[in-house]
Each structure stands twice: as structure tokens, then as C-alpha cells.
Chains A and B, each alone.
Chain A
Amino acid sequence: MAVAKYIGLYFKLVSAGIRAQLQYRFAFVMRIVGMVTAYTGTAVTMWVMLYQFQTLGDWNFYEMLFLFALSILSWGFCIILFFHFRSLDTYILNGTFDRFLVRPINPFFHFMAMKFDVASFGQFLFSIIAFVWVSLELQIDWSIGKILFLLAVIVGGVLIQGGLLVIISAFAFWTTKSEQFYWVAMYPARNLTYYPLVIYPKFIQWVTAFVIPFGFVNYFPTTVILEKETPFFPDYIGYFSPVVGVIFFVISYLIWMLGLRRYKSTGS
């Protein structure tokens, strides 16, 4: 069975990736420290912002921290699985991508399994501390249902953000650039979602719901968990996160394969 074969192979490749990464232990630790510092910096900025104003579009500091931490948590998983997709352009430019094409397995799978970036420990550390703190402050009642929903939302969020990374990497097949697209489009777009989408113009909210579905990564699900209102959208929209994730990822995969076909006809 092809699937079973690929799963076994995935774990072999991934464990090789982890062992390779752990060769550089100091860099590994420093990256975790750096990540926690950076996210704490953003949280501090939010706190300073609300020091005088108390609320941002009806969201208080703790609610915003929850929103932010949810984004960081699913981003952490996304880093593990997909973050290296953004540098596909480098692989193409220095010719190492061809390596994936002279082997008898699916190149998407091979490229995905090549890295397994466990340094996203920093993301987990930050977001879990934030979750615990916010849960205590806001007295969130974590029922089984809510926990299952949160897990499904994280899967959805990983698929949405991973899907976008896959699309961004596919750009490299057409333009020989991908890393830059990440810094230009996805990085600022992710920053947008650290804040409640309700504060943005309607058009932006619409785009983040239906075009690049970032709203389903953290904003819509958070409104469900914290029982907040979503002006312009039905209250139950957050429940669609996992479905949106699956659909978006499938589309991304198809785009990637289309790009690969184009690469094979141009070579660069």
C-alpha cells in the first residue's frame, strides 16, 4: 500500500532531519530564546498599547493575548512541517532541488519530509504559558468539547498557514523567488492577524475570510471560544476552520504540482 510506504518513509526522513538539526545544539537553544523574546516583545507592545486605551475594538489585553497565542501555537506546528518551503527558491537556484527529482518518490513529499524543524519549541513555550495565564485571568471553562475544538482549530490553522507556505514556495517555479514572497506577503499578513480582524476595513476582513483564509487560523475560532461577536460574519463561522484548512491545503498542493510541471518545462 502506497500510503503505508510513505508514512514509514516519512518517519525515517524526519528523524534524520531532527538528528541533523541537533548537531547544532547551541544554535538550536539560541533560536528558541530568540523566538520567545520576539513574541514576548509583541505581547509587551500590545500591553503598552492597551495601558491607556483598555480595549481595542472591544477586545481587552487578555483576549488579544489569547488571539495572538493561538496564532503562534499553530504557527509552531507549521514551522515544524512546512517552514522550509519558503526557501524553495534557494534549492532551485543552487541546483539542489534537482536531487528531489531524480528519486523515485513524490517530490512534494520528499521536499516536505526533508526538514522537521523542532526549534519551534519556542513557539510552544510562549503560547502555552500565554494560554494558561489567559485561561486563569478570563476563567475559561475548558470542557472536553472546547479542547477538542481547539485541537481541530490548530490542525486547520496548520493546514491554512502551511498551504500558504506551499503556494509561496510554488511561486519559485514561475518567478525563481519564494523566500521574499514570504517576507513581503505572509509575514505582514500574519502580523495583521495578531490583532482582532474587526478593526480592519471590511474589504480586508472579507479577504481574510474567503481569499487567504487567515481569519480561520485564530480570529474566527477565538470568537467562538471566548464567545465574542463577529460583526459582518455569522457567529458560528469559527467552526469551519478545520474544513477550510483541508480545502485550502488541497488547493495549495495542486498549485504546487502545477508549478512543478512548469519547472520541468523551463528548468528555472
Chain B
Amino acid sequence: MSIIEVNGLQKEFLIAKRETGFMGALRSLVKREFIKKEAVKDISFTIEKGEMVGYIGPNGAGKSTTIKMLTGILVPSAGNVLVNGIIPYENRQENAKNIGVVFGQRTQLWWDLPTIESFELLKAIYRVPDQRYKENMDIFKEILGLDEFLNTPVRQLSLGQRMRADIGASLLHDPPILFLDEPTIGLDVVAKEKMRTFIQEINRERNVTVILTTHDMEDIEKLCKRMVLIDHGQKVYDGEILAVKERFGKMRTLVVDLEEAQKPLYVSGGEICKQEGNRRWIRFNRDEISASELITQISQTHNITDLTVEEPDIESIISRIYQEGFTEPQFV
């Protein structure tokens, strides 16, 4: 049996329509119209114990709605969910014991108190035995480096420290499943890297199943083998990340500002996909040609005043997958 089973999941909401103009303003005082929105249309997938899966999609794709149904916060309109053998929304408190949840933008710690007190309160809430608590705290101190700020009030922690504390707090009761919602949002490069190492370590050493939602393509690339991609409430892709990277992630765009813009520019190994005034956008495959090779090539004929290399972000990859479809069937 898989640790998470999602079958034909659906969720609909009613959303109020906004009126415009003077008369609309007066009219909306009495009457308001509603539109039905299908946040999740029909999603199915299974996750095995110990897997680390990226659950991604653009804003409003239905990511957090799905997560809420998996954590028992929301009841689905249709379909089935089974988390560690429990139907979350029917048995929320039982399910809560099996899951750890971290919302990147909202801490679950007690804001005004020293960090250690949040751990003690969560110990009481989850009824973690003393012995287990001590063991876990020792492990967290080691791998999350909690020691340096355990006595600092949460509100004074840096974002990176707070995220580490939040992850520790969510694992205190040894949940077999961990939901991470944007765990690296707002962190600087170094802190992001650290955070990813922690997550990997936790996944490896405690065999925790991790479901990760994020906007950061690097999180996914570094952490997950598999990703589930959704858009407009539907699953667009479910499978190896490598396959997606192969296909879309290797394309880069070089943006150059040229001094003599009227002089025609020819590049081999890349394709000029856009031009605007002095600026040219050149799309290239990084497996075929490196950015520095391209730059050398251009500088032989033109003076470059400015340049940047754009990497495809998850949004653009998703929109490309959505437009073009994923032709090779990769569904698991």
C-alpha cells in the first residue's frame, strides 16, 4: 500500500464577482453574484514511503488546495484521499499525528517566546514521551543547528533560523509524512543551500516521506527525483524530473545590449528570438554551447555594453509544458 493515495480528487469553491462603476457600486450593496471555481478538477497520484516529491504549479493552480485536503483542513467535493491509511478529513486528529506541516510564510511557533518554549509546548500538544523528545532534540540540535538560537524569541530569528526551527518543530512527533510549503521562500542563497541539505538529511536518515510545494526550480532539481506538475486544477505531468530537465531546463537565454545595433548579428549555436532597440535575446541549449562561447562569438563582430543570462524559471517551463503538452508519455 502506498503511503499517500489520491484518487479523482475534486474541489469547487464559490467566489463573489466584483461589480464596477457607479451603478455597480450601488447594486453590489444589495446583490452579489457568485462564480463557481474548480480549484482542483481531477487529480490522482500515489506516493510511496520515503519518496520526496515536488508538487508544483503556478499560483492558483490548486497546489495548496490539494495540500489542505491531504492535511485534513479541507473536505474534498469528490474523490478519495488516503494518508497513511487514514482519511484525513474524516479523522483529522488521528491524521495530524502522522503528518508534519511547514508553511514557509507562516510560522507555527509562538512568536514572542524563546524558541525552546515552542518545542516544549508542541511536546505537550503531541504528547511526545520525554525520552523521545530528548532524543529528537539532540538530533535537531545537531543537524539543524538549533543550539545557537534556542533561547532567542522567535520574532528575533532570521528567516533561515526560523525555517530551521519550524522544520524541527514539525518533526518533533516523528511523523512519517512531512508537508513543506515553500520552505526556501525569502532565504538567501547560502541559507537555501543549507535548508536543502537539512531536508535531504531528514528524508534519508528518518525515511520521512516529503511532499514539497515550491516556486523554486532549484529546490526541485536538488531535492526531488519526481515531480507532480499541476495547472488549472489538473495534473499536467507526473514523473521523473530528469525528463523535464532534459527537455526544457537546458534552454537558456542570453540577453545582450549591442553598441552598433544596425549592424546585422549572426550567431551559430543559438537563435535570436527577440530584438528591441539595442537589445537582443538569444536562446541557446547549454548542452550544445556555453554562454561564454556565445559571448566570445558575438564580441568578435560587436561591442557588448551589457549582458545577462536568463535561466528558465518554473513558471515559464510550466507554461511551455502547458502550451506544448508533454508529448512523450511519461505518466507513472
Contacts and interface: CB of A to CB of B under 8 A. Distances in A.
Direct touching of A and B (C-beta under 8 Å):
yes
Interface of A: 5, 8-9, 12-13, 16, 19-21, 23-24, 94-96, 98-99, 101-106, 110, 264-268
A105 B93 contact: yes
Contacts of B101: 102
20 contacts: A9-B124, A13-B124, A20-B110, A21-B112, A24-B112, A95-B105, A98-B71, A98-B73, A98-B103, A101-B71, A102-B73, A103-B96, A104-B93, A104-B96, A104-B97, A104-B126, A106-B93, A265-B74, A267-B65, A267-B74
A102 B108 CA distance: 10
B169 to A, nearest CB: 11
A113 to B, nearest CB: 10
A266 B89 CA distance: 13
Interface string B68-111: 10011111000000000000010011101101010101101011
Contacts of A12: 120-121, 124
B108 A99 contact: yes
A221 B93 CA distance: 41
Interface of B: 11, 13-14, 65, 68, 71-75, 89, 92-94, 96-97, 99, 101, 103, 105-106, 108, 110-113, 117, 120-121, 124-127, 153
Dominant SS at the B interface?
mixed
Given A98-B68, A267-B65, A103 B126 contact: yes
A198 B94 CA distance: 52
A77 B232 CA distance: 49
Contacts of B65: 267
Contacts of B108: 99, 102
Dominant SS at the A interface?
helix
A23 B117 CA distance: 14
Nearest to B93: A104
B233 to A, nearest CB: 14
Contact of B106 (A16, A95, A110, A265): A95
A263 to B, nearest CB: 9
Nearest to B68: A267
Contacts of B96: 101-104
Which of A16, A102, A103, A266 has the most C-beta atoms of chain B within 10 angstroms of its own C-beta?
A102
Contacts of B120: 12
